[in-house]
Structure formats: structure tokens, C-alpha cells
Amino acid sequence: MTTFTALSIRIDTNGGRRRMVTSRDVARVAGVSQSTVSYVMSGRRSISAATRRRVEAAIEELTYHPNAGARALASQRTQVIGLVVPFTPGADTTGLLPFIETIASCAREADHDVLLVTANEGSAGLKRLAGRSLCDAIVMMDIETDDARIPVAATLSVPVILIGVPADNAGLHCVDLDFPLAGRMAVDELAALGHRRVVLVGHPAEVVERGVNFVGRFERGATDAASAHGVALEVVAPVAPGRDGAEAAVEQVLAVGGERPGVVVPNSQALQPVLQVLMDRGLHPGRDLSLIALCTDAAAEAVTPAATNVSLEPRDVSRRAMQILFQLLDRGQEPPDELVQLIPPRLTRRRTTLPSP
């Protein structure tokens, strides 16, 4: 325990805001040089046990925290990951949280923080993040097929990882769910349950127009599986918002799907309304037909009755993205050669599919 003498009394010249504790203060208290304090903290050179102990005691005593700005300035590393998230108007904000959460957790595990930027800033947000050295790397979500931000992202001075697969990734690493496989798994399951006709409810027009390309990738996987199994597959118009939309969609499903159709609803927004309308007509999913949703497990369980689903695996996708990101940051670690990394979905049987034959 160090005793503070009268010498350490100082006039407050700082407007009442207490002066920050610096590594020099720690050095003085520990009786070492300032750089030694730095090396104790970074572990970038060996320190004798005795010195380390004294420095650590001083750090503790003064409750020293390194200044992030100064550290970033000197080391050229911010220890911050920029995260570009979709902004609501038009974006599928549902199920966004698990991504954010997982990304934040992975960042913290590697002693990094997460700076949030909303997508409405567009390319300007990316330029700001990199230009001002606000972060060491960027994760971009909600990638469109023809995303105008990608050419910009590719020229930034920091690595960028995409969650989503654009038409041209411009050399950037991408991580996403394996949507073709997801489509295949849904149709495989329906075929195995004995359905000879499968109806796929389309995605909302706004999503398609925005060019979110998992739509096409999912449908292609479903189509392929259908021809492989020799089952008929029809794609019907998407569910418009509101009760009427669900009515119209179910109408079409029944028209083209005939009796006992297998139904695929790749849209968590529409799931509950569609289930509701079906049941209102006396058609019980799990008894009179099978329905498989494409959504997170949470959404599948929140719905009545709990829906059999192919999961979106937001945590797996995010974790993989962060893994690649830190491989890119740590010189020495090799990122994967394959730029596009697809995460396998998982099918969970719940109450909306017929029992296995």
C-alpha cells in the first residue's frame, strides 16, 4: 500500500472533472518506467515476476484503465469492430438480434468492442468507419444481390466481411446460411412424409425487389429437390401483410396444392397468419397437411401450433463470420481460401408436419 504524502496534493485545474489516471501514474507508483507498464499490459516482452507484481498492484490501486484513443493512435489498432445493421424501412428486422448478440459476444471474447452503424448511411457509413479509423474491421449484414456498397467496401483500408452472398463479392469474404440446402431439406422432408405436391409461398415483393438474393437461392434448392423426388412444386404469390394477405395466399395454396399439400413458408412474418387462416378453414397443419417454415427456432416455437422449421442459424452464421474476421486481423492466421462460406441449416420437426409414415 503506497502512502500519499502532501506532495501529491494538487489544485484542481480541470473544471471539476478528475484528471485521468495514466500509465505514467502507474509507473511512478510502481517505481518503473512508463514503457514497462505498457509491456506488462500487452505481454509483448518478458517481465520479471517481481516487476510484474508491482505494476499490477499499482494498476489495481489506481484502478488504471488504458485510454482507448491514445492506444489506437499509437498502435494503429482500435480494438473495435464496425457492425452495419439493416435499418427498418423494408428490411427484415425480425431475428436480427441473435446476429447482433452473437457478434458482440465474439468480439468481446477477443477483447474487441462493437460500433453500431445503421445501413441508412449507405456507403458513407463505411467510408466513415474506415476513414476515421473508428474500427479495425467491418461486418456488413443484409447484403443485396447487387449491393452498391460492395465496391466501396472492397477498397476500404480495413477488412470487410459480408453476412449474405451478393452476385459479385469483389474479393470479400461472405458467410450465409446455405439457402439452397435449406430449400432442399424442406422439400426432402415433405416428400418423405408422402406429399406429392408441394407449394412454396413466395417472398414479399419488397424483399424480392430489394434484391435480397436468398429468395432465389432457397427456391432453386427447393425446385431441385422436387424434381429429384418427382414431386410437383408450385410457387404461389407471397403473403401480403394483414389477414387478407394470408387469406389470399391460402386460397392459392389450396388451389394448386390440392388435397394434403406440403406447404413451405419461407417468411416468419407470414407464418402465424397463414396458420391461422388454415385452421379457420378446418385444415389443421400436422393433421390435414404439412407446413414447414424457414425461420429461426425462436419464431417457430412462438407460433401456434409450433412449426416444423428449417432454421436460419443466426448464431452459427455470425460465429463463422467473426472467426474469419479475426483470422483476417491476426497476421499469421490463414483465412479460408473459399470466400463464400455457407452454414448448413437444421430441420426441427414440431407440430405442423404429419407424423412420419
Q: Using CB under 8 A as the criterion, which residues of the chain lie in contact with a copy of itself when the complex forms?
A: 17-18, 20, 63, 65-73, 78, 80, 83, 87-88, 93, 96-98, 100-101, 104-105, 108, 113-118, 121, 127-128, 131-134, 157, 243, 269, 272-273, 276, 302-306
Exposure letters 62-100 (e unless 16+ CB within 10 A, then b): bebebeeeebbeeeeebebbbbbbbeeeebbeeebebbb
The 167-206 contact track toward DNA, x by CB under 7 A, reads ----------------------------------------
Q: Quick one: which segment of 20-28, 92-100, 161-169, 312-320 binds DNA (CB under 7 A)?
A: 20-28
Q: Is 13 in the site for DNA (CB under 7 A)?
A: no
From the list 113, 256, 98, 285, the residue with the least C-alpha distance to 190 is 285
> In the bound complex, what is the minimum distance in angstroms from residue 181's beta carbon to DNA?
42
Among 56, 57, 62, 66, binds DNA (CB under 7 A): 66
Residue 33 CB contacts under 8 Å (≥ 6 apart), including other chains: 27
Q: Is 74 in the site for DNA (CB under 7 A)?
A: yes
> In the bound complex, what is the minimum distance in angstroms from residue 46's beta carbon to DNA?
3
Looking at this protein, which amino acid is placed at residue 127?
K
The option from DNA, a copy of itself, none interacting with 348 (CB < 5 to 8 A, set by class) reads: none
The option from DNA, a copy of itself, none interacting with 32 (CB < 5 to 8 A, set by class) reads: DNA
> In the bound complex, what is the minimum distance in angstroms from residue 65's beta carbon to DNA?
7
* Residue 342: strand, helix, or coil: strand
Cell numbers 489506481 label which residue? 62
- 234's enclosing H/E stretch is strand 232-236
Among 56, 57, 71, 208, binds DNA (CB under 7 A): 71
C-alpha–C-alpha distance, residues 295 and 278, integer Å: 19
From the list 257, 305, 309, 310, the residue with the least C-alpha distance to 285 is 305
Contact call for residues 195 and 262 (beta carbons, < 8 A): yes
Q: Is 309 in the site for DNA (CB under 7 A)?
A: no
Contact call for residues 81 and 138 (beta carbons, < 8 A): yes
Contact call for residues 188 and 353 (beta carbons, < 8 A): no
Residues in a beta bridge with 117 = 84
The option from a copy of itself, DNA, none interacting with 34 (CB < 5 to 8 A, set by class) reads: DNA
- CB-wise, 22 or 51, nearer to a copy of itself? 22
Contact call for residues 352 and 292 (beta carbons, < 8 A): yes
Among 70, 148, 205, 255, binds DNA (CB under 7 A): 70
From the list 310, 309, 306, 286, the residue with the least C-alpha distance to 193 is 286
251: which 3 cell numbers?
386460397
Among 6, 44, 111, 356, binds DNA (CB under 7 A): 44
> In the bound complex, what is the minimum distance in angstroms from residue 56's beta carbon to DNA?
12
Tallying the residues shown for the chain, one arrives at 357
The option from DNA, a copy of itself, none interacting with 190 (CB < 5 to 8 A, set by class) reads: none
Q: In angstroms, how far is the first alpha carbon of the chain from the final one? A: 75
The option from a copy of itself, DNA, none interacting with 23 (CB < 5 to 8 A, set by class) reads: DNA
Among 47, 115, 235, 240, binds DNA (CB under 7 A): 47
Q: Is 51 in the site for DNA (CB under 7 A)?
A: yes
Pairing label, strands 137-140, 173-177: unpaired
Among 2, 45, 60, 333, binds DNA (CB under 7 A): 45
Count, residues near DNA per rule CB under 7 A: 32
- Residues at the contact surface with DNA, assessed by CB under 7 A: 19-20, 22-24, 31-36, 38-39, 41-42, 44-48, 50-52, 64-67, 70-71, 73-75
